Structure 1
């Protein structure tokens, strides 16, 4: 009797669910020996190596392969004896046939062989003997599926809202979420694409505990976590000082993911606030060719196009490249306010030796914003809001805010035979800003405002060099890990010319003002600023395996910092030198493994931040110092496809600046500040991210945060709120669901963010809590072409997304709007 087998042919999407069920029934019947071989035949489809999206849940091997055959449009024969009792980890993300088979068959000892007529046969993986003749049938090219590959940190093509691979954002060690004793959120490429995000401001909408504020206009964004500003970023793990005046944020097309570390990151950045840091991880070249074309059109004439190409550049595959070009031209919901954006990114990777990788590249980003606000909208003197339409602006139409960024980088990595790895990275970033804008100031005994104007040009350059080595070492009968490194960062500011008009003082009635009826004045450019900063540091961290369940991390960093700024304004000038020597930053953490799914952790970290604020007599304030204590639990489920965390934290910070009334400042000091003593921020963070059911991806985060003064020169401030613009309660939820069976071409998604009331600290401006909801609908027209429709703010909620003062810096959130996108993959 012939040996029974399955013979699966491609089915239409309308028969997918029935086909999978019938396949399972046939498998049981054949295994029991109750019948002869049975076939399942439907119309054939051409084979294709093009990648497409799969959402196949873990399960019985025959069922997962049946679902794969239907989705891929191929035929598979499966002898029941081979698949009986075997399971598959499923398949989540975008794959070609080779990678798809490798993922589904990982750990089964089986392989798929291509035969005549495009039919694939399942068989036991043969033992390869050097020099043996090739067997009949064309085998798939070699696909190596190792534990390390499965833990890859790349999120592109994963189809997931969670990064299953390791992260080195917190400690330099490549650790999983459970192994890292701090809170980390990852916004994956899949989530960025599903949500239609094009800027870092938009990515912040989904990141747990991260909030934004607009300062002095729509083109200057501040990021906050745990009640404090995030003032240091990482670019592929290398520290980068963030300057909201000049740095463009509309660069998401070049990034694979955004990793958000909450709590002090002094071990990685040296300086900064204990709020956390944001690590921007760029896309890299791929081993297989790929080309993606993306186009979108949205409300307010929002047109955007993107080309993303990657792959090997020589026959051996030892030289690989990637290039991204993105262009956008868009109006906004504000009158006479536009965005014109350009991004060009390119990178090369070369295997210059068996264990040595060289990566070089760079990007150019330009963001022109005609009509950009500098001041935002005012409120009435009592803090109540004017009944403005959301298109209102208090800035003349001739205002603008233009940014230009260019960066080059080189990275050399070498792996040693003893398990150690070394890496050195060099990076330069040049940022420019050219702006022309206006601001408001209150007039006495009047509800009207005066308006001033300014014109400024900034140019800033950052150079950074970072080198580290990490690897295992043996002691006390156990294997531990060590990382040691050093870095230097230098920046120069060449700001100016800048100035203001001599005869510009219009009176503004907020409800009776036409932004198009104001003539552009002539400007006197009398202001300039030149400055230099330099930071050099060395760091080291031990990861000690104390016992099987307990790991302890001990680290430290030593930094020196210098700063010098010369400011000239007309006939007045001032030089402000500042130095910090041998500043010590400790780090401690422990992780206790409860079981195969859960770990408890605790960490204590510290950080310092030099500051150029002046006291009442002009002396610079001492550095801000802070410490972060965090305790929590983390869980990983379904082979890391679902991750959960819960943490409580306390942040204490000293020497924070608060601006004093001008009457308290020496006449030669333009603005002065006091060191407030100590501020304490306490809170709770909860997060759930990943696949919670077949086809259902989710990211949900809740943050409770309360910051207050503990000690202050003004005793009455003790116990009063410190940061009232950070919402005490912040909840975010984003979901994406791929429909099952015959509806599998469709995906639906929804998101919402809810925040509690906020108010300005020094002005009577308050806004109650609000909720904003978005929807997404996606359709896969073909294996290569995806369509997606995003509807934002579906209830057309009227709210201010940022508060400032009674005279300016209040900014509306966007009204209901739509974005239609199409993505074609070759």
Structure 2
């Protein structure tokens, strides 16, 4: 009765949160459930033996049971986040069975011990005639009876190793070892340990990713190529927008990056695709609150609450809220964030589940950061790291609303259908001024520029598929077929004008501009409408070999650009196109898999014209080839090595800008770009021991543009990039204490440009202009963490980043702009409570 009342109280609390969402945004605070032992469990309704097998696979535990007996019992399935004990209890409860902990650390499924004669009759089991002898690699234990005459089940050990750990980079959960491409997963636990609060924080720690910092947003590249696509919960692909880099991570359980071209499911650019997995409601009641305080007045509060909302637990809810107020190391920038996330799980029927939710985030940044210039000859001026070239009155306000629904229906034990819908709506307002242009040695002057922006973005994605497995020639094979579509609109208004000279050493900003202005220099609308069908057939000729054959057929690809100032309107339609995908995995050993994959790259270039009267450039075409090996050093420690080779041809190369009357096309270009990127990734992820985890990622990359004398086309991509994080939890000596640390290190990066030469006669800089490399030499940034578990419900931690206070440029620019310092030494103290 007490538990029932607690659940009712929680239901009322969560309902109040959902109903009061618009009012609660400014007052609620939040974060995520800190539970390293919880797993994302998704098990359809099926026989109990198969359900336990799925649980072993998805949680990485050993479960022993009698397959013959339990195959006659039915399970209602599970969908949500559970600890191993919670999941077992829910699956076994209707059948009067219980999990018994065994010495090896796994569980043995036994009949529940009766406390009365009546109970004994309820759980009494008939003698068992196990068919386990027909199964290989199973440990058979004879049947016995306890004092009450209750049958003890013979056991069959189902051992799940780390190749069964699931990732959601496609349309269904996949075993990491069976994905024939490189995948990096940043877990909820690691985000909590390192204090990773935004997508930008996560990308900085992800293997192979280079961040290019910009004054209004950031770009991310992998293998020298831009990451342009993002998806949510394995749904349709969305375009990465300016506001994505500040997305708050409190609403997500994991971030996964598939490097290379995701040719099957709509993210064909070879930089890769990011997948964000939302936090899902749980059946068990749980609360967590977190308070943190850090350098530069960085204060944050988080709240996360979840649990069942009705007595039979068929509806579960979750609510997460964040309130953050912070300054930065560059002055006088200040940001305030409000984020609210709510989600519901509905078990509509034993075969049908609905996961739906919404999120709201608002960031208001005052005196937002602007990049630093250099001397006119390219030399570094050496500004203080607290310096920014933005006007103190500048501001930027960004809001984002997302609504989503995922519907899943089991047709039978082997087949299911999925529908994934998502609607994103964003609104950006920017009003500011900043100094750009190289600083003159004689006058000590740069130039003030005025910038204003008003952007509204709307995007709807839909994805529907049928997926399952079938038996053929004695083997089980898998098939996915589906349709996806994406429609987005972006209304974009901008003013960008020069104001006058300014002194970067003693800046006197221009007066604040009226907002909104009377007119906009740029006022346009872009609309994109795409639709495609896809399919993936995974054949298993033998137990060890898997062959993946698939492809994507794009039957609609349209872009409409309208200039509201001139009235010009252009529609660019691309031809229908099929893009194949091939993959192969082979199990060399029980713990080792080799793989290979090939994906085609295809990017339309309809708005680029060869002359003012056309024609349009042909599409960019190329390929993404990858070979690799993945092996388990221990059941919970996976190491992988991947070789990749990417080529892209026909990319647009400018012949000089020319305006075109009555058109929004760009002129004039030639399809002559020929890019090559080659290298390898090495990753080590998992548990060295039960108390010691590690994430190690190293990438070697060489990229070249064959049109430019084999020079690098992505000079900000370092040839060597290393990212390490590790954490150790003491179990006996200093019990409750954990320590961690890591390093991000990279070789030289640079930007190519041109600078004037010095004339000693006139004491001036001018022609001729010469080539110049604006370089950031190799550097390493180290971090540390210590945490202490005060009690099972309370934890305190301290993160220290850039502990040696290394001064470096996180992004290098040119003489006029684009130079951003990396963050100095900083600290973050966090107190977490969970119940």
Deviation digits for residues 684-712 of structure 1 (CA, Å, limit 9, x no counterpart): 100000111341110000000111023x3
Contact residue 200 and residue 250 of structure 1 kept, 8 A = yes
1:241: Cα distance to partner?
Answer: 2.8
The SS at the match of 1:194 is helix
Which residues of 2 match residues 568-607 of structure 1 at below 5 A? 568-569=564-565, 572-607=566-601
Matched with 2:734 is 743
- Note closer, same or farther for the CA distance 1:393–1:147 as it changes in structure 2 (3 Å cut): farther
Deviation digits for residues 155-206 of structure 1 (CA, Å, limit 9, x no counterpart): xxxxxxx996222414x35321211110001000000000011011111122
Which residues of 2 match residues 573-652 of structure 1 at below 5 A? 573-611=567-605, 614-615=608-609, 617=611, 620-639=616-635, 641-652=636-647
Instruction: Give the distance between the partners of 1:265 and 1:705, measured in 2 at CA.
Output: 20
Contact residue 331 and residue 388 of structure 2 kept, 8 A = yes
Gaps of 5+ in 2: 1-32, 39-81, 90-97, 128-144, 755-771
Instruction: Give the distance between the partners of 1:322 and 1:649, measured in 2 at CA.
Output: 41
Matched with 2:410 is 415
Matched with 1:730 is 721
Contact residue 613 and residue 657 of structure 1 kept, 8 A = no
Deviation digits for residues 228-284 of structure 1 (CA, Å, limit 9, x no counterpart): 101111111123433433446232000000011001012112x54211111011110
Instruction: Give the distance between the partners of 1:128 and 1:638, measured in 2 at CA.
Output: 39
Count, aligned residues = 697
- Match status 1:776 vs 2:788: no
1:423: Cα distance to partner?
Answer: 0.4
Matched with 2:452 is 455
- Note closer, same or farther for the CA distance 1:131–1:467 as it changes in structure 2 (3 Å cut): same
Contact residue 695 and residue 740 of structure 1 kept, 8 A = yes
Instruction: Give the distance between the partners of 1:226 and 1:336, measured in 2 at CA.
Output: 36
Which residues of 2 match residues 306-325 of structure 1 at below 5 A? 306-325=302-321
Deviation digits for residues 618-665 of structure 1 (CA, Å, limit 9, x no counterpart): 5554333231000110012433x2111001100001233445554x67
Give me the TM-score of the superposition, normalised by structure 1: 0.79
- Match status 1:822 vs 2:831: yes
The SS at the match of 1:495 is strand
Out of 542, 547, 551, which is 1:552 matched to? 547
Matched with 1:250 is 247
- Match status 1:437 vs 2:446: no
Which residues of 2 match residues 408-807 of structure 1 at below 5 A? 408-439=403-434, 440-442=436-438, 448-496=445-493, 498-500=494-496, 505-514=499-508, 517-522=509-514, 523-526=517-520, 527-559=522-554, 560-569=556-565, 572-611=566-605, 614-615=608-609, 617=611, 620-639=616-635, 641-659=636-654, 661-662=656-657, 673-710=669-706, 712=707, 717-763=708-754, 764=772, 765-807=774-816
Instruction: Give the distance between the partners of 2:605 and 2:197, measured in 1 at CA.
Output: 32
The SS at the match of 1:513 is coil
- Note closer, same or farther for the CA distance 1:245–1:813 as it changes in structure 2 (3 Å cut): same
Contact residue 168 and residue 233 of structure 2 kept, 8 A = no
The SS at the match of 1:594 is strand
Matched with 1:292 is 288
Deviation digits for residues 33-73 of structure 1 (CA, Å, limit 9, x no counterpart): xxxxxxxxxxxxxxxxx997779xxxxxxxxxxxxxxxxxx
Contact residue 680 and residue 708 of structure 1 kept, 8 A = yes
1:674: Cα distance to partner?
Answer: 4.3
Contact residue 545 and residue 585 of structure 2 kept, 8 A = yes
Gaps of 5+ in 1: 1-49, 56-92, 117-124, 152-161
Out of 391, 398, 410, which is 2:393 matched to? 398
Matched with 2:182 is 183
- Note closer, same or farther for the CA distance 1:769–1:480 as it changes in structure 2 (3 Å cut): same
Instruction: Give the distance between the partners of 1:651 and 1:700, measured in 2 at CA.
Output: 24
Matched with 2:140 is none
1:800: Cα distance to partner?
Answer: 0.8
Which residues of 2 match residues 369-380 of structure 1 at below 5 A? 369-373=365-369, 375-380=370-375
CA RMSD of aligned residues (A): 3.3
Deviation digits for residues 492-513 of structure 1 (CA, Å, limit 9, x no counterpart): 11223x3356xx6231232332
Give me the TM-score of the superposition, normalised by structure 2: 0.78
1:546: Cα distance to partner?
Answer: 1.4
Instruction: Give the distance between the partners of 2:617 and 2:280, measured in 1 at CA.
Output: 42
- Note closer, same or farther for the CA distance 1:127–1:630 as it changes in structure 2 (3 Å cut): farther
Instruction: Give the distance between the partners of 2:229 and 2:247, measured in 1 at CA.
Output: 18
1:564: Cα distance to partner?
Answer: 0.3
Instruction: Give the distance between the partners of 1:741 and 1:126, measured in 2 at CA.
Output: 44
Matched with 1:69 is none
Instruction: Give the distance between the partners of 1:511 and 1:406, measured in 2 at CA.
Output: 41
1:771: Cα distance to partner?
Answer: 0.3
Deviation digits for residues 490-546 of structure 1 (CA, Å, limit 9, x no counterpart): 0111223x3356xx62312323325xx542134442231112110000000100001
Matched with 1:73 is none
Show structure 1 runs of 4+ deviating over 4 A: 50-55, 93-104, 110-116, 134-137, 144-148, 442-447, 658-662, 664-674
- Match status 1:809 vs 2:818: yes
Between 1:560-569 and 1:184-193, the stretch displaced more is 560-569
Contact residue 413 and residue 421 of structure 1 kept, 8 A = yes
Instruction: Give the distance between the partners of 1:54 and 1:409, measured in 2 at CA.
Output: 27
